[in-house]
Amino acid sequence: MRPRWPERPAAYPSRVTNSGEGTVLAGRYRLQREIGSGAMGTVWQAVDERLGRQVAVKELLLQPGLDATAAAQARERAQREGRIAARLHHPNAVTVHDVVEHDGLPVLVMEYFPARSLADVLATDGPLSPRAAAAIGAQVAAALAAAHDAGIVHRDVKPANVLLGGDGTAKLVDFGIAHAGGDVTVTQTGVVAGTPAYLAPEVARGRPSSPASDVFSLGSLLFAAVEGIPPFGESEENTLGVLYQVAAGEVAPARRAGPLTPVLEGVLVPDPAARPSAAVVRDQLKAVAEGRTPVLAPAPEELTQPLRAVAVNTPRGGTRLDLHPFDTPSSPNPAGAPAPPPPPPPRRSRRTGLFAVGGGLAVVAAGITIAIASGGGETTTAEPTPGPSTTASSLRPLSAAELLDVVGDYYGHLPGDPQAAYALHGPTLRAQGESEFAGKWAEVRSVTVVSPPRVNGTDTVHVGIRLVLRSGATVTEYHQHGIGRHDGAVVITSDTVLHSETAAPPPQDDRRGEDDRKEEKKEREKEREEEKKQREKEREEEKKRREKDDD
């Protein structure tokens, strides 16, 4: 069975596919049959006529819309990174033999390895046992360790890029290639192509990929192998929702991992510096696969740079994740030079437009800038409001239970009791007026929590809700609530809509449509009955005329 490759967007022109079977590339690689296609290109089985061996040929498609200069740079980068990947020789990595060019596009010539992808195995056979997953993961980690030692970062570790041979051998494919053609996960224009479910949190926030991010992606792969779903979920329809979950870095606990659990807990941590190296993970997974207890070594120490978020422009028609939203100084401050002042604290913005579907949206949280292409919308700024007095109680940080309780109570009152919900607002949110607040919620028929409230930081709660409007439309929203104290009470100080999706109501209610059909049926039956009576009347009149003529 051939590996499963994701569908290639129609915008990418395939030159190798157009050439067809029998075409000879670079004077030596004769195409035999197409064995797969994906977002990065088409894969062919071919024969190297010079060496008489089977190879796999993969073109690297460039992003659509690149100008001549950018396209030339992408081709040069593809050639360079393909040659770098060719330096890696490891039994658990698909070897890159050569990099050639065909009709202006770079083409990789790789080891031919007939196998199924791990993605195909999981989709067909279901989740793996912890030891089986560890056996595969140990081989992938071994390939990553060798790559990292050679200065190569994979950037796209996921089940679709792990090939499984019939003898149990696992091989990781596409080393470094994700970046070569313009980065398959996050493109140069910032549009996410495909699901970001296996990204590391720092990559989802826009930082460059690193060996530590490869390790996190391996952890996500192992999590999916035993649990049946990646740690942050997976949805082609809601890429932004998945991206947001990844950037937040809060992993759901594994339930089926068994002896694999401590390894997963060690690699699926938000801080890259706290993750073990691929070599350490390799040894841990090998121990789990052999039924031994893994040795949980301390994480390597790595230097980290302070991060500063910057705004980005948003392309239409896609979810934007800025590739370089952080300023990284080329050298530290000179000795004796004063450190730059810290940036001012971010100002929280509040969108009260629960139903403002077409409004623009920009979220800056934990160093990530995400935007949805659409029109502009108004926002009001919620400034922190000091309490009337400073007491030991008011200085005590809010507990997680207090944060979750106020949000739970808030949505528990809605939509039936907007007055009680409004009472849980802080002064800034109350400024909109109770009547306006109640008027908005009067348009809502029901509220369902689709993503339970979860604490993010010391004073923030994230929650996902689904609103059914009286018009029949359905609105799914993800909110970030700021929580604080006012007059001794725990209140909601800000409300930011992070993401909103609307499903229009059906053309008509099913029951109403059924009633209409019944009514139409009655009308047709009535018309047929009247026509029948009319025909009988005409026949009777015709009969009488004939009888009169006979007389």
The active-site residue out of 98, 156, 174, 183 is 156
* Binding positions: 58
Count Cβ atoms below 10 Å from residue 508 Cβ, excluding itself: 11
**What are 183-205's pLDDT values in tens digits?**
334 444 444 444 589 999 998 88
Where residue 159 sits, what CATH number does that domain have? 1.10.510.10
348, pLDDT greater than 90: no
Same domain for 358 and 221, yes or no, is no
Q: What does the alpha-carbon distance between residue 293 and residue 301 come to, in Å, rounded to a whole number?
A: 24
Of 13 and 252, the structure prediction assigns the larger pLDDT to: 252
Same domain for 540 and 450, yes or no, is no
pLDDT band at 493 (very low <50, low <70, confident <90, very high): very high
Nearest to 157 by CA among 178, 139, 142, 138: 178
Q: For residue 199, give Cα distances in angstroms to 133, 236, 415.
A: 19, 15, 37
Q: What is the mean pLDDT of residues 32-50?
A: 84
SS3 at position 380: strand
With beta carbons less than 8 A apart as the criterion, state whether 181 and 74 touch. Answer: yes
Q: What does the alpha-carbon distance between residue 64 and residue 191 come to, in Å, rounded to a whole number?
A: 12
Range among 78-87, 349-358, 444-453, 540-549 with highest mean pLDDT value: 444-453
DSSP for 396-440?
A: SPPPHHHHHHHHHHHHHSTTT-HHHHHTTB-HHHHTT-HHHHHHH
Is 510 marked active-site? no
With beta carbons less than 8 A apart as the criterion, state whether 24 and 49 touch. Answer: yes
**What are 510-531's pLDDT values in tens digits?**
555 566 667 777 777 787 788 7
Same domain for 276 and 407, yes or no, is no
Q: What does the alpha-carbon distance between residue 138 and residue 522 come to, in Å, rounded to a whole number?
A: 70
Same domain for 435 and 399, yes or no, is yes
Same domain for 367 and 402, yes or no, is yes
Residue 383 pLDDT:
42
Q: What does the alpha-carbon distance between residue 10 and residue 37 come to, in Å, rounded to a whole number?
A: 12
pLDDT band at 507 (very low <50, low <70, confident <90, very high): low
Residue 56 backbone phi and psi in degrees, to 5: -110, 130
Q: What is the mean pLDDT of residues 97-117?
A: 88
Same domain for 163 and 62, yes or no, is yes
- Domain span at residue 82? 15-289
| Average pLDDT over the chain, rounded to an integer | 75
Same domain for 530 and 461, yes or no, is no
* Binding positions for ATP: 58
What's the number of domains the chain is made of?
A: 3
pLDDT band at 308 (very low <50, low <70, confident <90, very high): very low
Same domain for 275 and 364, yes or no, is no
Q: What is the mean pLDDT of residues 228-233?
A: 91
222 Cβ contact partners less than 8 Å away, ≥ 6 residues apart: 133, 134, 137, 257, 260, 263, 264, 285
528 Cβ contact partners less than 8 Å away, ≥ 6 residues apart: none
Nearest to 492 by CA among 420, 444, 436, 440: 420
Share of the chain above pLDDT 70, in %: 70
SS3 at position 42: strand
Q: Among the three residues 238, 259, 289, which one is the final residue of a domain in this structure?
A: 289
pLDDT band at 29 (very low <50, low <70, confident <90, very high): very high
466, pLDDT greater than 80: yes
